């Protein structure tokens, strides 16, 4: 079963458990291939693992940045509408979690 993470602009599946691997073909120059192979050796991983992990890390970082931008814009919009933010303590009290 796949779970999803929603934001205002995109829905991303969340990784859960062991997943079947699939193959993706990537075209790169010989110079790029040489560099990536050297980096894989330097990192002590296969070329495939290097490309997979570095690509996913970069995409996850980009996703996190976009979600943060959306949350910040929502916060600014709320301030403009007169919605006052609450403190951590107020939130914990409202949720009945103040002494945990």
pLDDT of 15 above 70: no
Residues 11 and 4 sit within 8 Å (Cβ to Cβ): yes
Per-chain mean pLDDT for the chain = 88
What DSSP designation does 8 have? Answer: S
Per-residue pLDDT tens digits for 55-79: 999 999 999 999 999 999 999 999 9
Place of tokens 């007169």: 82
Q: What is the Cα–Cα distance from 72 to 5, expressed in whole angstroms?
A: 18
What DSSP designation does 86 have? Answer: P
Full-prediction pTM beyond 0.75? no
Helical H segments across the chain, by residue range = 30-43, 47-80, 88-94
Per-residue pLDDT tens digits for 80-92: 999 999 999 999 9
């Amino acid at each position: 079963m796949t779970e999803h993470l929603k934001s205002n602009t995109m829905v991303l599946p969340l990784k859960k458990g062991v997943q079947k691997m699939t193959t993706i073909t990537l075209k790169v120059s010989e110079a790029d291939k040489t560099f990536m192979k050297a980096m894989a050796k330097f990192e002590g991983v296969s070329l495939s693992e290097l490309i997979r992990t570095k690509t996913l890390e970069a995409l996850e970082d980009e996703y996190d940045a976009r979600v943060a931008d959306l949350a910040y814009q929502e916060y600014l919009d709320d301030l403009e509408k007169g919605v006052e933010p609450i403190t951590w303590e107020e939130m914990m009290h409202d949720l009945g979690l103040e002494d945990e």
